[in-house]
Amino acid sequence: MDKNDKELSLQAAKYTLSLNPAFGPRGRDVLGSARMVLQHVLRQPAHSARHMAAFGVELTNILLDRSALKPAAGDKRFDDPTWQHNPFYRRYMKAYLAWSRELNDWISSSNLCEQDAARGQFVIDLLAGALAPTNTPANPAALKRFFETGGRSALKGASHLVKDLIENGGMPSQVDKSAFEVGRNLGTTEGAVVFRNEWLELIQYTPRTEQVLERPLLVVPPQINKFYLFDLAPQKSLIRYLLDSGVQVFAVSWRNPGKAQREWGLSSYVEALKEAVDAVLAITGSADLNTFGACSGGSTMSSLLGHYAALGETKVNAFTLGVSMLDIRPDTQVSLFADEKTLEEVKRRSYQAGVLEGRELAKVFAWMRPNDLIWNYWVNNYLLGNEPPAFDVLYWNNDTTNLPAALHGEFIEMYQTNPLARAGALEVCGTPIDLGQVTSDFYCMAGLTDHITPWDTCYRSMHLFGGQGEFVLSNSGHIQSILNPPDNPKARFMTGSSLPEEAQAWLESSSEHSGSWWGHWQSWLQARSGKGKKAPGKLGNKAYPAAEASPGTYVHRR
């Protein structure tokens, strides 16, 4: 992987969005906000004229080469030295920056209400990103590439564009999918399917040590993603890392639902998990187990724990939440368009279709981060004529799954009413859920730069439980927090000796550590995994015989 491919891959991994389980803005909402902005331009002529005049003054300074404008820190679009050293390109770049700045200043100083201003800002950001001079054939890097290749880069770019129009819904491809195959170079840790029901396959992994810890771990992934994020490549596999430390690992692989499964709801998934838990306990002979749930898988797992607490069941000894938001008070960009009418229509449309298609959701969310998830690939694939990068995280991110309509509707209702934060507000499998009655030890991990499940929201969520908790903050984003192997030289994480009510108070008193949180969690988990015993000689047992080799069959369903 060359430097350009690596940069593209890291940016996309940072902003990958597939773990978000519910909804995105509709096209009509964005167009409505655009009309609203135009109307206010006309309704505030003096305000608009002032900003046009300021833009004219700045253009004069740019033409005279007296402007001090420069790209924002971290904006890599103008990294090519031509943008700085060539007089024409320097003025072209600064004129664009001046125009973009005045648009943003117009919105921030207008008399729009707070929500309209935020929606207008979103539309202006989309417009400014799309019209960036780096997205045109005049991009100096594209021109250099054209002459270096004798025009072949333009032909390849046109070929990529036609292929994406036909095969990728008109979106620039983020990854070279031909470089990967699940079961060949992704999800390769040895194991077998030992239980299957309509909703999931349960995979038991082959021990990699002579002695194993007696209490097993069950990994619960989000329903909107394929489970092999936790077993991506051998050097990034969290599952393999745990096996090497003597933990017995089982993982859930959710079935990809179709229209016929539109009625699958949260209770359906919790009942399926209960069967998986019973299978794990029967195979290992343990009286209880530990669990690990990530993102919306953490919400499902927490619902199971609340259900067990209501029944007086003690099948879960300790649990871990990874980048999981339970106490939901929406304050993200997505919530700009999440009014009641919009959410009701989203639920109705998904029920009519039977599912919320993961591919369509991924497309919508790509437009939430267009510079990182669209326009850099536009430049790379079409203007430079390069192949999209071969990067395992991006392959996984594009290997989308659907949500059944019933579960999708329940996720939206959880977004609207925040029931997990209120005892008895949610009913699952016939029992009211009160997370305060869940008294198991737990470990909560969040990402400092996570924009999908913000770390302070994850911190707030852990206070819903009644057990003894530990909170750890990784220095990464949503996906990179999970994929954080010990050999990552940039990895850092923070721990705290107490859990004050406010997240900021915790952060101010926390201690920073070099390395990955994996090792810290491993020690915590091992202390709660019981004594050592001889590793089993085979997978499954008589009641739950080993069947297909991991990663199983459900992971391949489209």
Q: Which residues participate in catalysis according to the annotation? A: 295
Query: Distance between CA 458 and CA 241 in Å, rounded?
Result: 24
- Residue 280's nearest CA partner among 243, 314, 248, 322 is 248
253 — phi, psi (to 5°)?
Answer: -115, 110
Q: Looking at residue 169, what DSSP letter applies?
A: T
CB of 239 closer than 8 Å to CB of 336: no
Query: Distance between CA 412 and CA 265 in Å, rounded?
Result: 12
Give me the sheet containing 249-254, strands edge to edge: 191-196, 200-205, 249-254, 217-220, 289-294, 316-322, 441-447, 469-474, 492-495, 511-514
Query: Distance between CA 183 and CA 161 in Å, rounded?
Result: 30
How far lies 285's CA from each of 66, 290, 532, in Å?
A: 76, 14, 13
Three-state DSSP state, 200: strand
- Residue 543's nearest CA partner among 253, 285, 289, 315 is 285
Name the region of 183 (left: φ>0; alpha: ψ -120 to 50; beta: rest). Answer: left
Distance between first and last Cα of the chain? 28
Name the β-bridge partners of 512.
494
Query: Distance between CA 72 and CA 74 in Å, rounded?
Result: 6
Query: Distance between CA 471 and CA 495 in Å, rounded?
Result: 7
Q: Looking at residue 173, what DSSP letter applies?
A: P
Q: Which residue has the tokens 């499998």?
A: 429
Query: Distance between CA 355 and CA 338 in Å, rounded?
Result: 19
Query: Distance between CA 95 and CA 525 in Å, rounded?
Result: 56
How far lies 119's CA from each of 164, 224, 259, 260, in Å?
A: 29, 27, 33, 37
